[in-house]
Amino acid sequence: MDPFADIQTNPIVGNTSSNINTASSSSTTSGASGTMNNNNSTPSRYENQKRRDWNTFGQYLKNHRPPLTLSRCSGAHVLEFLRYLDQFGKTKVHTPICPFFGHPNPPAPCPCPLRQAWGSLDALIGRLRAAYEENGGRPEANPFGARAVRLYLREVRDLQSKARGISYEKKKRKRPQASSSSAPPSSSGEA
Ligand SMILES: [Zn+2]
């Protein structure tokens, strides 16, 4: 009956923080060696992550007070979820009064709060949006695609790029490093 029964029946829900934090760190494990041969494992890693995220969100709904079901979930609830995740974040976001505001690599510690990095949230929302529809949700009702969520993510991106001095423009997607290791073939003879 319940199209979202997956949430309840899946026993592998871990603790929320580790689930989310793997989102940002998992890319480092892919390494430079796995380029073309790894094509098969890449989608499944994404699928696994998506499933974990979906379980995490289901867990969040379950623990929500007042109780909240997926069908009543709105963009506002998604924002609430994202803000809740910030407590598990590991990305230092400087406040405007911090001397390191705008420094990508501050030379000393400061008391500014840790947050979820914008890139992690952005990727997370993408996975949850897909998972929602794969689990029977209607696209037009998808809370992860809500305008408020898009606006929030844009806001977070702007804020973090200013606070951390990091430009997120035209960020390259996980490009395999194959191109950097192969020198131009003509260089040996014609130099
Ligand atoms: Zn700071």
What is the CA(96)–ligand 1 centre distance, in A? 8
Per-residue pLDDT tens digits for 82-121? 999 999 999 999 999 999 999 988 999 999 999 999 999 9
Q: How far apart are CA 40 and CA 190, in angstroms?
A: 39
pLDDT, greater one: 79 or 2: 79
**pLDDT, tens only, 51-69:** 999 999 999 999 999 989 9
**Which residues, 6+ apart, have CB-to-CB distance to 148 below 8 Å?**
75, 76, 78, 79
Residue 160: CB atoms within 10 A of its CB come to 22
Q: Is the pLDDT assigned to residue 40 strictly greater than 90?
A: no
CA of 82 to the centre of ligand 1 (A): 21
User: Which pLDDT value is given to residue 169?
Assistant: 73
Q: Determine the distance separating the centroid of ligand 1 and the alpha carbon of 32, expressed in angstroms.
A: 32
Q: Cα of 126 to ligand 1 centre, how many Å?
A: 29
Q: Which residue from 27, 23, 13 is spatially nearest to 176, judged by alpha carbons?
A: 27
Q: What share of the chain is helix, strand, coil (3-state, %, to 5)?
A: 60, 0, 40
Sign of the Cα torsion 153, 155, 158, 162 reads: negative
Spatial distance between the Cα atoms of 121 and 6, rounded to a whole number of angstroms: 23
Mean of the pLDDT values across residues 39-62? 88
The backbone torsions φ and ψ at residue 138, rounded to the nearest 5 degrees and listed phi first, read -80, 135
How far, in Å, is the centroid of ligand 1 from the Cα of 33? 36
- pLDDT over 70 at 7, yes or no: no
pLDDT digits (tens, 9 = 90+) for 141-186: 999 999 999 999 999 999 999 999 888 876 556 555 544 444 444 4
Q: How far is the CA of 114 from the centre of ligand 1 (A)?
A: 10
Between the CA of 110 and the centroid of ligand 1 the distance, in Å, is 5
